[in-house]
A = this chain, B = another copy of it.
């Protein structure tokens, strides 16, 4: 900084004002200082900025899922890609950690905040009974919750979410129109806010139409449980004519499991996958799926967090409703 001041012919404090974007120096001086600083390869030390209260220039992201369920999960890599795009433009780092469970995740937030490691966090997998919003409030740690519906009890948190309820209603509409009356929803993790939202919507849509053979079964999102539940429900006395899976991996495993029992898709059973991906077009038949732009979802969340860090207000931002793309795995119900 001394070198920059000498070369630019200004005081050290003028250099500090200029490089930190603060008032107190003219635009001409600011430009000169920046040019000289660039020539000298000077960059502000994150550590120095953190101690002077200017932030860690880093955003935290914790994923509390067992490593092995991440096997073929494209959702998080796509989400992180979108997040990273926005953070990179702002020269913000992404501090990433895989936690054992939600308690471990809370401990990570406490530690990061106490150690000035992050300026804010992106919170994923919101739950119906979730200790994290209270914790962020208590710590004063800025946060954006990805995937949860807005919660009036936490006005300081931004929420970026999709209308899972609307998407599930559209799926039921379409399956009903195709004559399906027995539908099983092979859901994700119980307790996750979006899992419960989908389950509630399915129940409400079934009740509205007087359908009694419609239900949800929760799983751990793995291909193994997707296949096991598929085999179980198809082996019953009155098997469902349509299956809705909460992710692509379970749907693909489910189609294979159905084939193993002699069920043809879609002649005997229709299949819808919640999360569209390349995977849905890699199997025969190509899977009908709910599609959304996950990379853009990540970008939106990161933009909201940087806005929050810049002093903007917390907001509830809704991304477009996932759209049902009909491919070859859905058809008229047998005898429907």
Contacts and interface: CB of A to CB of B under 8 A. Distances in A.
Contact of A77 (B46, B73, B117): B73
Interface string A50-64: 110000111000000
Copies in the complex: 2
Interface residues of A, number: 58
A97 B91 CA distance: 10
Interface string A272-293: 0000011101111000000000
Contacts of A71: 74, 77-78, 277-278
A283 B71 CA distance: 16
A301 interface: no
Contacts of A295: 67-68
Given A94-B97, A98-B84, A45 B115 contact: yes
14 contacts: A47-B47, A47-B56, A48-B51, A70-B77, A71-B74, A71-B277, A72-B278, A76-B77, A77-B77, A93-B112, A94-B97, A223-B278, A249-B282, A279-B279
A67 to B, nearest CB: 3
A62 to B, nearest CB: 10
Nearest to A42: B114
Contacts of A253: 278, 282
Contacts of A81: 67-68, 70, 98
A82 B67 CA distance: 8
A241 B57 CA distance: 54
Contacts of A78: 67, 70-71
Top 8 closest A-B pairs, CB basis? A67-B81, A47-B50, A84-B98, A96-B96, A70-B77, A46-B115, A47-B47, A43-B114
A256 interface: yes
A43 B282 contact: no
